[in-house]
Structure 1
Amino acid sequence: MRTNRQLDLIIYGATGFTGQLAVEYVHKEYPHIKFALAGRNPAKLAQVRSQICGAESQVPLIVADALHTPETLDEMAVSTKVIANYAGTPFLDKALPVVEACVKHGTCYVDITGEVPFQRVSYDRYHQQAKESGALIVHACGYDSVPSDLGAMLVADAMKERHGCDCQSIEMVGGKSRGGLSGGTLYTALQMILDGKSIPGMAECKARGSYSLDPEGAMGGPDTSDTVSFVSFDNVSQKYVMPFIMAGANAPVVRKTNALMAYRYGKNCSYREVQAVPNWITGFVSLLGLGVFGVLMAIPPTRWLLLKVLPKPGEGPSRTIQETGFFVSEFYAVGDKKGKMPIVRGYVKSGTAGDPGYRATARMSIESALSMALERESCAAGGVLTPASALGMTLVNRLNNIGMELGVVDDAI
């Protein structure tokens, strides 16, 4: 049924900040594919189409509203091979109806959420049905958590190829980066902190600990945390490191991938993420700054003042920051081999993709969607999966082809 759809791709939430970047990218780089813009406001959709695609553009517009007219989602889902969803903040209430419609009609789906409870609920409700309908549902297809998920896969596979053993541990070390603060991420994180107990899926995630996204029947593993607790010297990377702020969103995805792929990385493989810093003092000052910010956000009066000046959902950095922004993620896999501990090092770099939270995220998510739309036979059959377990080397190759850099260092260290 998917091969006979009118459209290859629908960009849902096309009027939002990241959604518009996705539209711009598709219009410029993939003019040959059949795509449409979707959202709840027809006037705004028409304005985005005119501004990005031109006043004479015939790109279809689809009015759909997950919260108020969910029946429109069925009409949208049956018309396309893939839906790329940018309508979040949070995704939990707005995206689950879209996932349901896609699963029902065998339509593939991607989004850019880092909301772990939402991903838990999505898997619990729809994984089996998605396997039956052939719908491939892949969350976290932006900066959270494509670099982490693909980087871990690359070094784990290289460990087997080079040294014939599983991994004892994998670590992502965040390097230098530049980009704008995401208003959507900020508000979503704030909601989880303030209303966490009432969020569906939160209790289940807490009960499962570090393996909050693992599939049913998974064996878990040795991890009890996602990052370091303080500034320290890391003996594997030989760098000073501090806690990585997005580890809580990324690490559960990587662990789920390992479980979904029959523990290809290793049954006892640990995973964590850290941020590299030049020295202990810099790390301490940075960590102190994060702590102060957290305290100010926890106090209602200062939180109110901060939210007046911080980016709001739908707002993003300037065009200059988008284009000059970048990120570097390094990966260190330690082999589980008697007598020695081989180390394999890999990397995921933004290359020409731009800042991590917006421009690069739009590209990574669209390339994830096009992996399914244009190379469906090379992707997983169906289910609520992760970027690496669903798309694997297909996505790695597509990202390398558009100017990002993903790979493994030639010589093990």
Structure 2
Amino acid sequence: MTDTERAYDVVVYGASGFVGRLLAAYLAEHAPADARIALAGRSRARCEQVRAGLPAAARDWPVLEADSTDTASLATLAASTRVLATTVGPYARYGMPVVEACARAGTHYADLTGEVLFVRDAIDRVDAVAKGSGARIVHACGYDSIPSDLSAFLLAERARADGAGGLRDVRLVATLKGGLSGGTIDSMRAQLEALQQDPSRRRVVGDPYALSPDRAAEPDTRQPRDAGPPARTPDGRWTAPFVMAPYNARIVRRSNALQDWAYGRSFSYGEVMGCGRGPVGAITAAGVTGGLVGALAAMAFPPTRALLDRVLPAPGSGPGEDARVNGWFRMVVDAGTESGRRYRATAGGSGDPGYAATAVMLGESALALALDGDRLPDRAGSLTPATAMGNVLVERLRAAGHTYEVAPA
């Protein structure tokens, strides 16, 4: 089936969920007037309710019904559109049939997963199929992991243009203001449950190259630990473990490998969370570290997880409008090169990073995949944001108000 035979450019799957509604609203306000967009979910009535509350541009969007447990409905859905953007998680529970339907249909796919095990399984199951059909399967199209992935991509591009050699010792420091949703918590819970059911998969989660397309070909470059005690950067900032570092770092390393290690064979990449300077920064770093360790331990133990479930946000919920509007994110990425030159990338934007800013990132990813095909890298299969969309996505996000800059340090 050719693109011209498809009824839609973009289908938002999971449109009645918390992030799905935000994505639909973003597209209603920012997609080109002639873009053919539809909403989809397992409940037509709920999707119609969402559509009724969207800006006027969306009032005539079709509503489609599809259930992740019904492969026939997913096949029909995937075949109807050029791009399927899905917010239906946890992806380990609900995502694989959607990925498989898109890979078979030659439909480009974008999601928001932060689940290492799901992405590893999806690579193994659909990469070859998607390459054959021409589908771009793109995971991690939100705050996890677009700022990380595009920053490393731009740093490598600048160093290459300057003849500075490959990247070494790349470190991202994340600062943000934002809330936590029930969907994010549910994804964390699902991965912990998967590890308890099959402890052997801990080796996958613990492998810094877990998402590599060719694990045996990876260099023996030592990678930073995913978590550790509070520490200080050379310029005096206190840092703590960043909850998404284990996932983001593996996405970035996959981007390097998919481009034949274009960032360098000595590429070392890690992420931490910035907590400020001085005594306040030290106290904050200690609190963040202790809280993260305690939360993960409590979620891993069924009795305490049941207690947490009573107080943590439920799936389908998230921060209120004020929190979404007042949030922000800023990622500062320092990089050394093989020649000794240093660079600094900055990625940032307004809005709660996991929700308002993520709606922008996923929305622009979907539009890039649907409308910019002649400018995208000539790749198919299981990809990352950097390898699937590269500078096309950077340009779109800059136009949407996000910052992506690289300069000598």
Q: Above 0.5 in TM-score?
A: yes
> What amino acid does structure 1 have at the position aligned with 2:388?
A
> What amino acid does structure 2 have at the position aligned with 1:94?
Y
Per-residue CA deviation, residues 43-90 of structure 1 (Å, 9 max, x unaligned), is 1011111121559922111100111x21011111111110000111x1
Cα distance in 1, alignment partners of residues 386 and 180 from structure 2:
26
Offset of residue 234 of structure 1: 2.3
Question: Does the residue aligned with 2:316 lie in a helix, a strand or coil?
Answer: coil
- Structure 2 CA distance for partners of 1:210 and 1:46, relative to 1, 3 Å: same
* 1:41-120 correspondence runs (5 A): 41-53=43-55, 57-67=59-69, 69-88=70-89, 90-120=90-120
User: Partner residue of 2:30?
Assistant: 29
Kept in 2: contact 1:117–1:199 (CA 8 A): no
- Structure 2 CA distance for partners of 1:220 and 1:56, relative to 1, 3 Å: closer
Kept in 1: contact 2:28–2:57 (CA 8 A): no
1:374 aligns with one of 363, 371, 375? 371
2:333 aligns with one of 331, 334, 356? 331
- Structure 2 CA distance for partners of 1:133 and 1:231, relative to 1, 3 Å: same
Kept in 2: contact 1:226–1:271 (CA 8 A): no
Cα distance in 2, alignment partners of residues 336 and 241 from structure 1:
26
Unaligned runs of 5+ in 2: none
2:398 aligns with one of 390, 397, 400? 400
Offset of residue 125 of structure 1: 1.1
- Structure 2 CA distance for partners of 1:66 and 1:296, relative to 1, 3 Å: closer
Offset of residue 305 of structure 1: 3.0
Bigger shift: residues 369-378 or 274-283: 274-283
Cα distance in 2, alignment partners of residues 93 and 382 from structure 1:
25
User: Partner residue of 2:352?
Assistant: 355
Question: Does the residue aligned with 1:210 lie in a helix, a strand or coil?
Answer: coil
> What amino acid does structure 2 have at the position aligned with 1:286?
V
Offset of residue 169 of structure 1: 1.9
Offset of residue 248 of structure 1: 1.0
User: Partner residue of 2:226?
Assistant: 227
> What amino acid does structure 1 have at the position aligned with 2:353?
P
Offset of residue 275 of structure 1: 1.2
Cα distance in 2, alignment partners of residues 128 and 233 from structure 1:
44
> What amino acid does structure 2 have at the position aligned with 1:123?
I
Question: Does the residue aligned with 2:95 lie in a helix, a strand or coil?
Answer: helix
Cα distance in 2, alignment partners of residues 84 and 405 from structure 1:
23
Per-residue CA deviation, residues 237-268 of structure 1 (Å, 9 max, x unaligned), is 65322211110110100000000011111001
Cα distance in 1, alignment partners of residues 57 and 84 from structure 2:
24
Cα distance in 2, alignment partners of residues 8 and 165 from structure 1:
40
> What amino acid does structure 1 have at the position aligned with 2:112?
I
- Structure 2 CA distance for partners of 1:288 and 1:200, relative to 1, 3 Å: closer
User: Partner residue of 2:129?
Assistant: 129
Cα distance in 1, alignment partners of residues 227 and 199 from structure 2:
28
Cα distance in 2, alignment partners of residues 257 and 280 from structure 1:
34
> What amino acid does structure 1 have at the position aligned with 2:320?
S
Question: Does the residue aligned with 1:222 lie in a helix, a strand or coil?
Answer: coil
Offset of residue 220 of structure 1: 4.0
Kept in 1: contact 2:140–2:146 (CA 8 A): yes
2:209 aligns with one of 208, 211, 214? 211
Bigger shift: residues 188-197 or 307-316: 188-197
CA-atom RMSD, angstroms? 2.1
Kept in 2: contact 1:163–1:342 (CA 8 A): no
> What amino acid does structure 1 have at the position aligned with 2:174?
G
Cα distance in 1, alignment partners of residues 244 and 262 from structure 2:
24
Cα distance in 2, alignment partners of residues 228 and 77 from structure 1:
39
| TM-score, length of structure 2 as denominator length | 0.93
Cα distance in 2, alignment partners of residues 349 and 142 from structure 1:
13
> What amino acid does structure 1 have at the position aligned with 2:76?
E
User: Partner residue of 2:323?
Assistant: 321
> What amino acid does structure 2 have at the position aligned with 1:181?
L
Offset of residue 5 of structure 1: 1.6
Cα distance in 1, alignment partners of residues 217 and 387 from structure 2:
15
Offset of residue 137 of structure 1: 0.3
Offset of residue 190 of structure 1: 2.0
User: Partner residue of 1:265?
Assistant: 263
> What amino acid does structure 1 have at the position aligned with 2:185?
L
Kept in 2: contact 1:156–1:333 (CA 8 A): no
Offset of residue 160 of structure 1: 2.0
- Structure 2 CA distance for partners of 1:36 and 1:199, relative to 1, 3 Å: farther
Is structure 2 residue 312 aligned with structure 1 residue 310? Answer: yes
Cα distance in 2, alignment partners of residues 47 and 4 from structure 1:
29
Kept in 1: contact 2:11–2:39 (CA 8 A): yes
* 1:138-153 correspondence runs (5 A): 138-153=138-153
Question: Does the residue aligned with 1:52 lie in a helix, a strand or coil?
Answer: coil
User: Partner residue of 1:189?
Assistant: 188
Offset of residue 271 of structure 1: 0.5
Offset of residue 162 of structure 1: 2.7
Question: Does the residue aligned with 2:264 lie in a helix, a strand or coil?
Answer: coil
Per-residue CA deviation, residues 371-403 of structure 1 (Å, 9 max, x unaligned), is 110101222331100000111000000000011
Cα distance in 1, alignment partners of residues 79 and 320 from structure 2:
36
| TM-score, length of structure 1 as denominator length | 0.92
Bigger shift: residues 19-28 or 302-311: 302-311
- Structure 2 CA distance for partners of 1:265 and 1:56, relative to 1, 3 Å: closer
Cα distance in 2, alignment partners of residues 133 and 48 from structure 1:
33
Cα distance in 1, alignment partners of residues 180 and 85 from structure 2:
22
Cα distance in 1, alignment partners of residues 115 and 93 from structure 2:
11
Per-residue CA deviation, residues 348-378 of structure 1 (Å, 9 max, x unaligned), is 1014xx1111111111011111111010122
Cα distance in 2, alignment partners of residues 202 and 298 from structure 1:
15
> What amino acid does structure 1 have at the position aligned with 2:138?
V
Question: Does the residue aligned with 1:142 lie in a helix, a strand or coil?
Answer: coil
- Structure 2 CA distance for partners of 1:300 and 1:98, relative to 1, 3 Å: closer
Kept in 1: contact 2:51–2:58 (CA 8 A): no
User: Partner residue of 1:282?
Assistant: 284
Cα distance in 2, alignment partners of residues 28 and 56 from structure 1:
9
Per-residue CA deviation, residues 201-245 of structure 1 (Å, 9 max, x unaligned), is 936624x7110000025324423444351112223x653222111
